[in-house]
Amino acid sequence: MTRVQYLREQATRAERLAKTILDAVTVTRLVEASHAYRQEADRLEQHEASDQATTMWMPH
């Protein structure tokens, strides 16, 4: 499992758990965690994509 896959899985788990919790503070924290996981996964994907693009075009 890649780091991106792990972060996306954690985001999904946090969202699923937030739907079962009655405490508003906990729900807010879980939703915030979910957003943070997704943002980090997106950032890593963009970084990996830019690294691949650079590597593909570098002369040997």
Tell me the pLDDT tens digit for each residue of 6-56.
Answer: 999 999 999 999 999 999 999 999 999 999 999 999 999 999 888 777 666
* Residue 53 structure tokens: 């693009």
For residue 47, what pLDDT is reported?
93
C-alpha to C-alpha distance for 45 and 21, rounded to whole angstroms: 31
Number of Cβ within a 10 Å radius of residue 53? 10
Q: Is 60 exposed, middle or buried (0-12, 13-18, 19+ CB in 10 A)?
A: exposed
pTM: 0.79
For residue 55, what pLDDT is reported?
62
C-alpha to C-alpha distance for 3 and 41, rounded to whole angstroms: 8
